[in-house]
Amino acid sequence: MLKKFYPSDYVNSSYIIDYEELFKQGYRGILFDVDNTLVQHGAKADDRVKELIKRLKKIGFQVCLISNNKEERVKTFNDEVQVKYIFNARKPFLKGYQEAMNTIGTNKENTIFIGDQIFTDVYGANRAGLKTILVKPIHPKEEIQIVLKRYLEKIVLFFYMKTKE
């Protein structure tokens, strides 16, 4: 039952993923959550994000931000990185993921989703048939509804980690 919430991979940070290897494996699109995946919640794009996106584009990836935030938040962040984006994606519903893939011209076989939340990011991307990479949240300060979900995520991660032993 919990397997539908398991990511394909679980890593410490978006910034340590071997993107070159993923490209060699045939992946061509990356969908990123923004808050606590690329930057601290509510933060602007910093130099680290800009360098990562520049690197991904150089490798050959199509990149799209997919966020449940309002357009103002996502657009302001995107002004610094200049990729495609989907705001108010309503994750974990499928529409946002499908719209993001359509926007960058990829499909479920060659697209990866990277995010920090199990019940929105990973669950929705799994339902959409994507490879999912769960990253540890960048910063512990979060909205109360996310803090509450983190307790449930710990249970899922406990059982997920047992499958990796």
- Domain locations in the chain as residue ranges: 2-163
- Helix or strand holding residue 159 (H, E): helix 144-163
pLDDT at res. 149: 79
If you search the block for the tokens 């990866």, which residue do you land on?
A: 112
pTM for the whole thing?
A: 0.93
3-state DSSP helix/strand/coil % of the chain, to nearest 5 = 45, 15, 40
Nearest Cα to 13, choosing from 153, 135, 140? Answer: 135
pLDDT at res. 145: 66
pLDDT tens by residue, the chain, 165 residues: 789 999 999 999 999 999 999 999 999 999 999 999 999 988 999 999 999 999 999 999 999 999 999 999 999 999 999 999 999 999 999 999 999 999 999 999 999 999 999 999 999 999 999 999 999 998 766 666 666 777 788 889 999 998 887
Q: Does domain 2-163 have CATH number 3.90.25.10?
A: no
| Cβ proximity of 132 and 8 under 8 Å | yes
For the record, the structure tokens of 46 come out as: 């910093």
pLDDT at res. 80: 94
Distance (Å, rounded) from C-alpha 156 to C-alpha 101?
27
